[in-house]
Structures are given as structure tokens and as C-alpha cells.
Chains A and B, each alone.
Chain A
Amino acid sequence: MADTTEMPQDKFRLSQLLYDARYRSMTIQVVAAMLLMLSLAWLVDNTIQNLAALGKDFSFSFLGTTAGYDINQQLIPFTSQDTHARAALVGILNTLLVAFLGCILATVIGVLAGVLRLSKNFVVSGIMTFYVEAMRNTPLLIWILIVFAVMTEATPQPRDFREGGGAEMILWDSVAISNRGVFVPKPLWGEGSGLVVAVFLLSLAAIFILRRFARKRQEQTGQQLPVFRLSLALFFVPALLVYFIMGAPITLEVPELGGFNFVGGIQIRNSLIALWLALSLYTSAFIAEIVRSGILSVSRGQTEASFALGMQPNRTMQLVILPQALRVIIPPLISQFLNLTKNSSLALAVGYMDVRSTLGGITINQTGREIEGILLLGSFYLIVSLIISSVMNLYNSSVKLKER
């Protein structure tokens, strides 16, 4: 029986590289790789030639040399005698600070605006629509400049806070908003304050444990504990008790007018406030849209089904709608946080000393190390965004619909 077809034992021909689907993708990839290598080599070669022509080399040793400039906002001690590396670190911390503050405020405003925009109340939803559209359709840079102009031009000078100067401190004479910045009280940590903080942290842990215990109990026995009241009591009572037993160790240092400026307290510079507020307001408009579409994405049938089961409206929100809406809301929300962090590099416009202004600005200007400086700057932003997006991926895989 010689019916079996002979497998064609063709020899490999060169034309197969182009016309045979088995080999073609290989050919394309090899050609692409070679082209990429060639162009990279060309760029590197150009760079080497240009650097040689300028008499420069490529090294990161400048990070160890004295910075020689001051930074007006420092979370860690820094003087002009410190190194460029430390200046970069100060800048990184400043970036992270404004990004962190911005994310919190943007989420609060954004959720509020998003929920209110869904309101049936025509006036309320109208205001929120106006707010969202105005913020989303104008450049962030204008908002930063406008808020900065409000802070520096429309606020009183420190000397106006004198008797009869026309300006007053707010919140029981503890906070002063002036064109030099906002002055807030500074906590002074006296003897025994560590104990108060420790007790407070312990009571936070206790609240957490209480909630888990209450849920378990409810699942097993069906009995509910008054979780909210108990947590409230745990939050305040132990810490306050210890605070008074230790003889009020934590006091506030209220800013006071001395000379031409305020002394004492903490000065929050206008650049930080302007950047923080503008970033938060701008991003909150995007978050509002995300929240709104997330809530709308949960179909009405879910609400009706929940009502049919006899659930209260707030339990429906808590147990049925929010868990489903959050799955839609969280991923774009995190990418908005990422955008906010990257947008914080606009700090340049108001002179806030973030990493773009220290490492990517003054350090580069002083040392002439453009390639190295921008490489480090870019890597910082890249690492932050990769960390955030990997967190997002983890979250996505944990909440995605479990299909079995």
C-alpha cells in the first residue's frame, strides 16, 4: 500500500523567508532588530562624538559634589553644602509630598463632584457639570498660574495682620493666610507624647480588629454589633485619656506676627499650596467623570434586585452597587493618580522645588550634565509609574470577575 502521500521533502529555499508564513515573521523580526540596532548604534556614536567634541565625559560623579544652592522647602535637612544627590532626594520628597496631598484632595473633591453630578437636583448637577467641563477643557498650567496669582495677589500681606490692618487670622487665631504663605500651628512633642501616639495607633488597630470580629460574628450568628459607635469611642477615648493623664504633652505652637513676617508655626509656601490646589481641582474633574461613569455602569436591575430582597438604600449602596462600581472606578482612578504625579512636574511654573527643579533644573545648569541628569530624572518618573501600574495590575487581577 503506497497510498500515503509522500511528504514533499523540498529543500529550504531562500524565497521561503519571504513567502512562507512559517519563516516570514522570523525574517521581519530579524530585519527589525537589525534596523533598531543600527539606529541605536548611530545615536550612541553621535552622542560619543558630540561629547568628545565638547570635551565632556559620561559619569555620575557629579552627584557626590557640593550642590551649592539652597532649597526653600525641605522635608529632610539640607544646606547648600550638601551634595547634589541629597538635593535630588529633597526634590523627590517634595514631588512625592505634593503628589500625595494632591491625590487625597482630588479623590475627595472628585468623588463628591461625581456623585453630586448624578443628583436629580437640576441646580446641583448643573453646577457640577459646569465645574467638570471648565476644569477639563482648560490647560492645567493656567489653573496653576491662576491659583498662584490668587495666593500671592489676593491675600493680605503679613503686616496687614497687625491691629487695624484689615486682615484676621482664621480658626481661632491659629491659621494665617498671607501672601507669604499659609502659617499653621506646629505641634510640639513634649515628654510622654510618644505614649499618646502609641495608644492612638493601638486603638486604630483595635478598631480594625473589632470590625473583623463583628463581621465574623454576624456571619456566624446573625447578630450585629454597634460597630460605628464602638469605633468612634475607641478612636477618641483611650488617646484622650492618656493625653490628660500624661499632663497634655502635645501642645501647638501658634504662628505669631513678629517683625515683618510670622514666626513660629509651620509655613506652607504659596508655591506648594498653588500647585496642590490646582493639581487637585484639575484632577478631581477627571475623577468625577470616572466616579460618575462607574456608578452608571452598574445596571439598574442590580438596585431593583437589591430592593426586592428588602435591603435598605444605604445597605444597597454599600453591599451591591459600590463593590461593582469600584471594579470599574479603581483602575482609571489610579491612572489619574499617576497623571497627577507626572503633572506635578509643572511645579516649575510657580517655583516649587520638586525633583524637576532640583535635579533636572539647577543641578543640570550648574554641572552641565544634561544627559546624566535627564536620564536620572526620567528614571525616577518611570520607576514611580511602573510601581503604580504594577499595583494597579495586582488590584485588577484580584477584583476581576472570577470566571470558572
Chain B
Amino acid sequence: MSKQSSVAFVRRDMIPPAPPPPGQAGVLRWMRENLFSSVTNTVLTILSIYFIWSVLASIMPWTLNGIWVAGSLTECREIRDARGIETAACWAVINERWLQLLFGFYPTDDVLLSGLFYAEPLAAAGGVEAVFGAGSNATDRIEFVGMMKGDLSNFTIFWFGYWRPLLAVALLVVAVAPILYSSLPRSLLFFSMLYPFIGVFLFWGGSIWGPMTVAMGLAAAFFIGRFVATRFGLLGGGIGAVIAFILIFLNPLPFIDHGGLFPLFPHAKDVLHSIIPFGLPAIPSDQFGGFMLAIIIGTSGIVLSLPIGILLALGRQSTMPFIRWVCVTFIEVIRGVPLIVWLFVASTLLKYFLPPGSSFDALLRVIILVTLFASAYIAEVVRGGLAALPTGQYEAADSLGLDYWKSMQLIVLPQALKISIPGIVNTFIGLFKDTTLVVFVGLRDPLGLTNAIRATGEWNGIYWELYIFVALLFFTFCFFMSRYSMYLERKLQTDRR
């Protein structure tokens, strides 16, 4: 008798897996494991759901019942009472004033607007020259523009009246994209290098030869430096470039009278402008405002503070005691004092430190101070990254015979910066949020504009809607930055793959 026949039944095929018992699969199981795993957990869940419900119950009616079209807060309240609702947000203030919150008192391109959308009244008023020309009456012009803006919708004014800042921001996105995402073609980086000049031209206007001469001078200094470097080494090249730049832009011997030794360059802009007059109406920076201001200050601060911060961090690690001492003092003093005090220094004390009679653009002062402030923080973050690198990396670079700058550039900084990405992005987010503090030195940032809007008769006493709008604007940008830093961390993570 074989063994096989003694077995009554042998299954030849697999039983299909039985479905898990109810409550052990899908949503029910997930809920049991995550929400109701223990008594405490259940209580926590119920409490949190109650909390969410009560918050939503008090906020949602207010938000969703919001009134979008009204001329003033009193009108809003009348509409609300007429509808018989208890609470309602008055989103009408955003609907009416969002352009102001975005751009402050930045002037619109009224000539373009009237030409495109208001041609008939313009012709009736006597044409472009009569209204906007040099000899026109200012009162009439203001009245005409006021009428036109009353007739045009906010979106028309947004797209066509503010085309300059809009174009500048759109190009900014194009310029930043190749830096953020390495999958884009590298040739776009050339545009990124040009962007600062384009951006300045679009925002501030004036003759195009202003930013152009600066760009040409920088390029000339770069090539002169490269030429010198081939003969006298890297250090000589750097010094040569700096000297060339100074010679081109700053008349080094002002006491020989302007046009003394270097007659052409100080006036190059005017000369070129007289040959090819091309430019946009100049807009002084005291008319800048709104969220645009946060973008301008934030972007320039971010772009400028990273290299300065890295240099400070390297200086702090330097073997030269004097350099180290200077960097440590700078970093500690900047970090030890709140930004608002530094802004105060910029607005009140800078006039004492500069030569008598010289004046300084208010926005530029703020940008410089914000940049220095952020660079001290970046320096500390990068120092952390440098310190986290094992000494072996430094020694390996030395043993390969790399000089200081090469070893930093090829071995140390790529690794150190990768470690410090979260900290750097956090500093950038902090910088972007801190741009709201410029309201204390008299610039019109979005929060300052909420005060200005509240100071008008129509919107006196309106708080939440304005604050929520501004908070959402900032949240969008900062949240994007923090998500981007997470993406970058994942992308650069070369270990533990």
C-alpha cells in the first residue's frame, strides 16, 4: 500500500485567499487602527472632530455668505441685514481694492489704457497729447484718469495698466525656473543672468541705457579680469576685475572735477540715450508698494544674501585670525539685534554715515539691510553644513592638490550646501515674511496698505477680510518654498537610496 492511497484527500490546487473578515480590511480597519485604537485615542478623535466641526461651523457661514459686491462697509451690512443673515464676510473690499493690495500706489500705464479701452472719451478730450502731453493740465488729467478707472474693470487695469510689474514678475519666473529645476535647458541660465537688468528696467523705468551700461560695464570688468587672470593668476584677475569695474563706474578722482580723467563713462548713459532714446516712464521707488514690494525685496534679498552668506561662513572657518574675527563679529552683531532695529538704522542713521549731501534710495537701503541681515543667518546655517562634513573630505581635497577655492568649489561646498538646504530655505522664508516689517520705516507693504484702506471712509472698521487676503498671499509663496526645499532634499539625496 503506497503512502499516497492512504491519504483520503489531497488538494491539488490552491484555495483562493479568503477575504479578510469585516472590520479587518479597508476603511473600517484603517479607522480602527488609526482613530479608535484605544480609549485615549478614541477620546482624542472625538474631541478633534468636534473641534474641527465647531471651528468650521463658526467660520464657514461667514466665509460662504460673504458679500462680493458693495461700495462700502455700511452697504455690506445693509445687504447682509436685507438677506437676513447673521454673519457675512465683506469680501467686497477685496473685490474693490485687490489691485491696491498687490501694487500699492504704483502708477498704471494710463496712456496705454486710454488708447486701448477708452479711445472715444480720449478723442473727445483732445487726444493723447492734450491729456497726457507735457503741456497738459494736471487737474484735468487726474479727473480723466479717475473717470477712466471708474469705467474699466479691475481685471482690465490689472492686465494692461500694470503690464510692467506683471511682465517683470512673469520674466522673473522664467529666470528662476532653470535655477530651480535642472531638467530645463541650461541655456536659459543666460537669461537668468540678464534678468536683474531687465527687472530693474521694467520696475523702475527710465532710460534703458541705465541698466544697459551697468550690464556692459560688468561684462567688460569680467573680461578684463579674465584677461588679467591668464597672466597674473586668479587673485590678480579678481583684483583686476574689481579695479576695472570701479574705473568704469565710479569716477575715482572726484576732486579732479567730473569728466576729469575718465570723461566718457560717467556720462555714457546720457550720451547713449541721446543717440538712441528708448525708455519707459521713470517711477521713483517711493511709489512702490503692496505685495509687489514683498516680491522685490524678498527676491533681491534671497539672491544677494546667499553668496554673501557663504563667503561669511567660509570666512568664519578661515585659518586667518583677523578674517575670522571680522566675520564672527559681523555675524553675531547682525544676528543679535532685531531686524526692525536694523531697518530703523537704515531709515534714520544711514544719513549720518554717508558723505554730507548724499542721498540714498529708501527701497535700496531696505534691500541692503535685509540682505545683510539674511546673509548673517545664512552664514550660520552654512557653517553648520561645513561643520557636519567629516574632516576627511577636507583632507582628501588637500591631498589631491586642490587649492583653497577649488577644494571649496568642487568638494566641500556641494556637500555642505546640500546638508544645509532646509536651513537655507527656512531663512529665505523668514526673509520673505520679514518684508512685512518695512511698514515701520514708511514703505507701503500690504499690511501698511490695510491701514490705508481702513483709513478711508467707506472701509472704516474692516479687519478680517484684509488680513486673511494678505495672509493667504504670503502663505502661498512660503508654502511653495517649503515644499520646494523638500523636493530638492529628496532629489539630492544620494545616500540610502
Contacts and interface: CB of A to CB of B under 8 A. Distances in A.
Contacts of B341: 345, 356, 360, 374, 377-378, 381
A124 B433 CA distance: 28
A133 B355 CA distance: 46
A374 B349 contact: yes
Interface string B406-443: 00000000000000000000000100011011011000
Contacts of A386: 332, 336
A303 B340 CA distance: 45
A25 B324 CA distance: 12
Given A47-B353, A134-B475, A139-B434, A374 B320 contact: no
Given A28-B320, A360-B344, A121 B447 contact: no
A342 B338 contact: yes
B348 A374 contact: yes
A120 B436 contact: no
A146 B336 CA distance: 27
B356 A120 contact: no
Interface in B14-44: 33-35, 37, 41, 44
B338 A345 contact: yes
A142 B37 CA distance: 39
A29 B323 contact: yes
Contact of A142 (B323, B338, B352, B474): B474
A189 to B, nearest CB: 37
B345 A145 contact: no
Interface string A361-399: 000100000110010011001101110000000000000
A36 interface: yes
Nearest to B470: A142
Interface stretch (B46-54, B114-122, B211-219, B260-268): B46-54
A43 B353 contact: yes
A153 interface: yes
Interface string B102-121: 00000000000000000000
Contact of A32 (B52, B322, B437): B322
B231 to A, nearest CB: 14
B323 A121 contact: no
Nearest to A126: B48
Contacts of B353: 43, 46-47
Contacts, number: 146
A370 B348 contact: yes
Contacts of A141: 436-437, 439, 447
Nearest to B429: A137
Contacts of A29: 320-323
Interface in A128-166: 133-134, 136-142, 145-146, 149, 153
A343 interface: yes
Interface stretch (A48-56, A216-224, A240-248, A255-263): A48-56
Contacts of A18: 235
A36 B326 contact: yes
Interface in A328-376: 342-343, 345-346, 348-349, 356, 360, 364, 370-371, 374
Given A50-B356, A360-B344, A124 B44 contact: yes
Contact of B447 (A145, A378, A385): A145
B124 interface: no
B464 A149 contact: yes
> Taking chain B's interface residues, is the majority helix, strand, or loop, or is none over half, making it mixed?
helix
B137 interface: no
A33 interface: yes
B349 A370 contact: yes
B376 to A, nearest CB: 12
Interface in B435-455: 436-437, 439-440, 447
B482 interface: yes
B345 A374 contact: yes
A149 to B, nearest CB: 4
A81 interface: no
Residue of A18, A137, A139, A377 with most chain B CB atoms under a 10 A cut-off: A139
A145 B45 contact: no
Interface in A108-138: 119-124, 127, 133-134, 136-138
Contacts of A348: 340, 440
A145 to B, nearest CB: 6
Output the residue of B345, B352, B429, B464 with the most chain A CB within 10 A.
Answer: B352
B320 A25 contact: yes
Contact of A146 (B44, B354, B467): B467
Nearest to A370: B348
A47 B352 contact: yes
A385 B475 contact: no
Nearest to A293: B422
Interface string A310-328: 0000000000000000000
A137 B479 contact: yes
Contacts of B344: 360, 374
B349 A122 contact: no
Contacts of B479: 133, 137
Interface string B225-242: 000000000010000000
A228 B491 CA distance: 50
A139 B45 contact: no
Contact of A121 (B44, B322, B333, B352): B44
Pairs of residues from A and B, 8 with the lowest C-beta to C-beta distance, nearest first:
A137-B478, A382-B336, A385-B336, A342-B338, A139-B433, A29-B322, A139-B436, A149-B463
Interface of B: 33-35, 37, 41, 44-45, 48-49, 51-52, 235, 319-323, 326, 332-333, 335-341, 344-345, 348-349, 351-356, 429, 433-434, 436-437, 439-440, 447, 463-464, 467, 470-471, 474-475, 478-479, 482
Interface of A: 18, 25, 28-29, 32-33, 36, 43, 46-47, 49-51, 53, 119-124, 127, 133-134, 136-142, 145-146, 149, 153, 342-343, 345-346, 348-349, 356, 360, 364, 370-371, 374, 377-378, 381-382, 384-386
5 contacts: A29-B322, A32-B326, A146-B464, A382-B332, A385-B336
